[in-house]
Amino acid sequence: MTDSTETLERLADSDYQYGFVTDIEQETMPPGLNEDVVRLISAKKQEPDWLLEWRLTAFRHWLTQQQPQWARVHYPPIDYQAISYYAAPKQKSEGPKSLDEIDPELRRTYEKLGIPLAEQAILAGVAVDAVFDSVSVATSYKGKLAELGIIFCSFSEAVREYPELVRQYLGSVVPYRDNYYATLNSAVFSDGSFVYIPPGVRCPMELSTYFRINASNTGQFERTLIIADEGAYVSYLEGCTAPQRDENQLHAAVVELVALDHATIKYSTVQNWYPGDAEGRGGIYNFVTKRGLCKGHDSKISWTQVETGSAITWKYPSCVLRGDNSVGEFYSVAITRDYQQADTGTKMIHIGKNTHSTIVSKGISAGHGQNAYRGLVKIMPTAEGARNHSQCDSLLIGDQCGAHTFPYIEVQNPSAQVAHEASTSKISEDQLFYCRQRGISAEDAVSLIVNGFCKEVFKELPMEFAVEAQKLIELKLEGSVG
């Protein structure tokens, strides 16, 4: 894995310091952030005035804010003036020209994960239109979805085509003032995905393949908005199990979900950004704000995440349970090794009556990895009959890693039932020997035990994704014992 990540780093480093590269369709802004930059981004995207105003308000607010320090992660200060905030799609000549030019070690990783060739090319940054076919596949999906009235497009397209919907919901779950990174995202977001499922429609496919093919280069300030109207259902898959090439170190994405009466949104993530090398150099800083609003009664939002990559993960997918009888779920596997740091968890805010939430968090640490679960369960005075069950388990591999649990529970309604369970275990020599005595190698034994540990979360993932996630974890732990 180390070799392939080095390859990624090389790929990632290969073409960044370009400064001005201007031709007719291609542009990269020079590094730096000020109001003019925000205006320029908005102008490039031909956005309506209200959106520019929203960005500017966010930017002015951001200037008054400090980077938060409370998370249990350590990193050198980020120079926001050293980042370039707008880059149009890459020129074809910049990336590798074909799969044959990709490092064989990286190819091996892809093959082990069973990633189709076409996708391998995208992920490795091979110039896209040389490769596909799949563009037409994507288009045919789109046709099928359109028949049902489902909107699934890039965020920019949504701003152009469905401005009313965007305006109604943008910032309604994660307001621009929410937190430092969300505020920054609101000012400079580049692109992302937009989904709208009309009333009573059950989206017939996982919104995934399309996404993987088309949105692998949405950049570092991604913005996603998903709305499930009354009685609608959608399952959305984000990310990919293959190691992802990305030239940006800082990622600050925002995801907003809105579920109306009786609607269900299932959002699954597998995150495998470049984690840095074995000595802790390089790697993505991933500061993400993800939140779902169960706006209607009997609505449900379910987050499932498998976090394996990034040097730093700072992420708390949350549910605001406003509608009566609404349900929030959070299933998480976070794995850290080498010098990776993860501070992740969730917030469940119970506002409506008889709202239920479930939290299942599995943290795995190997090498020098540090893993923290941070979770808030808040029962508001109005949340009569609210219930929460939280379970946070940590698994340690080796004795130089760490696991930390920070549960915050605030109960303001006496009828609420809140239960929290936590455990920390270590893969013991006894367990390893037991497996080995049955013929299973130490390495296979570790993945067997780890997969067992993660099972409750994996079973929430769509089938093929679960298989990929399992393989990913195995790759991730290669060489972590013995």
Partner 1 sequence: MLEIRNLHATVEGREILNGIDLIIRPGETHAIMGPNGSGKSTLANVIAGREGYVVTEGDIFFDGKNLLEMDPETRACEGLFLAFQYPVEIPGVANLYFLKAAVNAVRKYRGEPSVDAMDFWDLIHERMELVKMDESMLKRSVNEGFSGGEKKRNEVFQMAVLQPRFAVMDETDSGLDIDALRVVADGVNALRSPERGFLVITHYQRLLDYIVPDYVHVLVNGRIARSGGKELAVELEQQGYALYNEEPGRARRAA
Site for partner 1 in 355-374 (CB under 8 A): none
Shortest CB 363 distance to partner 1, Å:
14
Name the segment binding partner 1 (CB under 8 A); options: 71-79, 144-152, 284-292, 439-447: 439-447
440 near partner 1, judged by CB under 8 A:
yes
449 near partner 1, judged by CB under 8 A:
yes
Shortest CB 33 distance to partner 1, Å:
46
Integer Cα distance of 66 and 62 in angstroms: 8
Please give the distance of CA 422 from its chain centroid, rounded to a whole number: 24
442 near partner 1, judged by CB under 8 A:
yes
399 near partner 1, judged by CB under 8 A:
no
Name the segment binding partner 1 (CB under 8 A); options: 130-138, 278-286, 306-314, 436-444: 436-444
Name the segment binding partner 1 (CB under 8 A); options: 262-270, 367-375, 449-457, 460-468: 449-457
| Dihedral sign (CA 454, 457, 463, 466) | negative
Task: Give the one residue of 3, 452, 459, 464 binding partner 1; rule: CB under 8 A.
Answer: 452
391 near partner 1, judged by CB under 8 A:
no
Name the segment binding partner 1 (CB under 8 A); options: 112-120, 165-173, 309-317, 447-455: 447-455
99 near partner 1, judged by CB under 8 A:
no
Task: Give the one residue of 82, 455, 464, 479 binding partner 1; rule: CB under 8 A.
Answer: 455
Write the DSSP assignment of 107-126 as a string of letters: HHHHHHHT--HHHHHHHTT-
Name the segment binding partner 1 (CB under 8 A); options: 44-52, 119-127, 140-148, 431-439: 431-439
Shortest CB 453 distance to partner 1, Å:
5
421 near partner 1, judged by CB under 8 A:
no
For every residue of 6-52, which 3-state class applies, written as one string? HHHHHHHHCCCCCCCEECCCCEECCCCCCHHHHHHHHHHCCCCHHHH
171 token code pair: 């910032």
Which of helix, strand or coil describes residue 387?
Answer: strand
Shortest CB 448 distance to partner 1, Å:
6
Residue 59 host element (H or E): helix 49-63
Task: Give the one residue of 10, 97, 436, 459 binding partner 1; rule: CB under 8 A.
Answer: 436
Integer Cα distance of 222 and 189 in angstroms: 6
425 near partner 1, judged by CB under 8 A:
yes
The answer to whether residues 391 and 421 touch, using CB atoms and an 8 Å cutoff, is yes
Please list the alpha-helical segments (H only) found in 322-441. Answer: 429-437
448 near partner 1, judged by CB under 8 A:
yes
Q: Pick from 210, 52, 63: which is nearest to 137 by CA?
A: 210
Measured CA distances, 318 to 182, 273, 481 (Å): 14, 21, 34
| Tokens 């949105």 sit on residue | 215
Name the segment binding partner 1 (CB under 8 A); options: 129-137, 204-212, 261-269, 421-429: 421-429
Q: Pick from 447, 457, 441, 406: which is nearest to 427 by CA?
A: 447
Task: Give the one residue of 123, 453, 469, 470 binding partner 1; rule: CB under 8 A.
Answer: 453
Shortest CB 438 distance to partner 1, Å:
4
481 near partner 1, judged by CB under 8 A:
no
Shortest CB 459 distance to partner 1, Å:
11
Phi, psi values for residue 94, rounded to 5°? -80, -35
Contact residues for 145 (Cβ-Cβ < 8 A; gap 6+): 151, 152, 203, 205
Number of residues forming the site for partner 1 (CB under 8 A): 23
Provide the binding-site residues for partner 1, judged by CB under 8 A.
Answer: 425, 428-431, 433-442, 444, 448-449, 451-455
